[in-house]
Every structure is written in C-alpha cells, then in structure tokens.
Amino acid sequence: MNLIIDVGNTLVKLAVFQGAELIGKIIVEKRDLEKKLSEISQTHPGISGVIVSRVSPANFLWPSHLQRNAKILELSPGIVLPFENLYATPQTLGNDRIALAAAASKMYRDRNVLVIDAGTCITYDFKNKENQYLGGAISPGLHMRFRALNAFTANLPLVELQKDLKLTGNSTITSINSGVVYGILKEIDGVIEEYAAQYDKMVTIITGGDAHFLSINLKNSIFANSNFLLEGLNYILEFNISQ
C-alpha cells in the first residue's frame, strides 16, 4: 500500500493506492497535513511506500509508524524515472510535469501521448512511443488570464468563469469570458492538431482543476482524468521500490 503526498502552494493532496488502484484521496490545507498524516497512518497501517512531491515548502513531522515501516521517497531531479528524460534542463523540470510523464509511460508506454494539465498554468507535456519525454509548453491558465486582464488594465473588472459560453459577448463581463475561454479552447485544439500532424495514433489526456469544463467544450477527442498526476507519482514510487 502506498501513500502519495502532493504539496501545492496552499493545499496538499493525499492519496492511498493499493497497487495501481486508488482507494482514497483527500485535499487538506498545509497546516493540517501533520494531523492528517497521523490519521492516515492509523487508518492504513499497511502503508509501506511513501512519495512526496513539493512545489512549495511544507514542514511537518512524520508519524512514527511511517518512519519505522515505510520507504519514504522525495521526488527530485535525481530520482530514477520510468521513462527517458530528454528535457534539455532536467533540473528545472517541475515535479508535476515529471509525474504526468510517468503516468503517460505507465498507461501508454508504446504510444505517443500528449498530456495537458489545466490548472494555474496550462502545461503541455509530450512522451513519444519510444517512451522518451521530449518536453512541451507552458501558458497561462483560465484564472490567471482573468486576473491579468484586470491587473494590467485600468478599467477591466476581475471576472469569474461563466460556464454558459457565448461566442459574442454582449457586455464587458461576457466579452472577457468569451475572449478568455474561447482563446484557451482554440489554443488547446490547435496544439493537439499540431502534435497529431507530426505523431501518429496519439493519445491526448487532460487533467487539472479546469479539465472537465474544458474537455466538454473542445473540438478534439480527449480523455479527462483528474487523478493522472497522482497515478504518475504512484508509478514513480512503485518503479523505485522495485529497483
């Protein structure tokens, strides 16, 4: 049984896997992490492997049970990966992108895979059918674009996402919503089409907080998987334990 700890800027995702099966997932604030780890170690005494991925610092004490009985790994550039990493600056590659590439390797090892993570930023990560990670792209996410329009202009308001899409906005708010949302949809569809033109039989996955909303409005066929990053972290842990 494995415990996955994904530390974000303010929130932490915790997931428990039995083999490749996700059996439990919660999201907590950083301040509650230590308490929740203690609860999980008692609820799941069979945890034998733990992996921690951090995009920001998080200080906590490990429960004594996990310290005694589990192999604890920290995701870092030096960890053994289940794919060949051809990124030119691997030391700068974010943990989230590493985990997504690992999930692509686990589920589609012999396929060309484009993974789109629609969160604070939108990241595009590509793994080819030779199981090589090539890199991708990073662009602003939905809410970052809304905030940018407000921050860098004198009169535009800060708009919240409106899921009732209108191509032609008939107010400032609906015009901003149209511009941001349709701009992202066309960007994603365009990136998918560019990759598909170069790589045959490509699989496209979308994950992240805005994945569901975007996936149902995209033109291209795409698979939404909200747990793809957690599955990738679990695979990296399993891969390292087996070495």
Is 189 noted as a catalytic residue in this protein?
no
Residue 125 assigned ligand-binding role: no
Strand partners, 14: 5, 26
The values of phi and psi at residue 201, to 5°, are 50, 45
- Specify the residue for token string 């969160």: 119
Residue 153 assigned ligand-binding role: no
Residue 234 assigned ligand-binding role: no
Rounded CA-CA distance 59/75 in Å is: 16
Residue 96 assigned ligand-binding role: yes
Residue 95 assigned ligand-binding role: yes
Residue 13 assigned ligand-binding role: yes
CA distances to 40, 65, 132, 140, 218 from 190, rounded to whole Å, are 43, 49, 23, 16, 10
Strand partners, 24: 16
**49 alpha carbon, distance to own chain's centre:** 21
Residue 32 assigned ligand-binding role: no
Contact 75, 99 (CB under 8 A): yes
Residue 108 assigned ligand-binding role: no
Residue 11 assigned ligand-binding role: yes
Full DSSP string of 173-187: HHHHHHHHHHHHHHH
Strand partners, 52: 5, 74
Residue 6 assigned ligand-binding role: yes
Rounded CA-CA distance 136/238 in Å is: 25
Which of these is catalytic: 96, 110, 189, 210? Answer: 96
Residue 87 assigned ligand-binding role: yes
Residue numbers in the known binding site for substrate are 87, 94-97, 172
Query: Which residues are annotated as catalytic?
Result: 96
Can you say which residues are annotated as belonging to the binding site for ATP? 6-13, 120
Please state the residue numbers annotated as binding site.
Answer: 6-13, 87, 94-97, 117, 120, 172
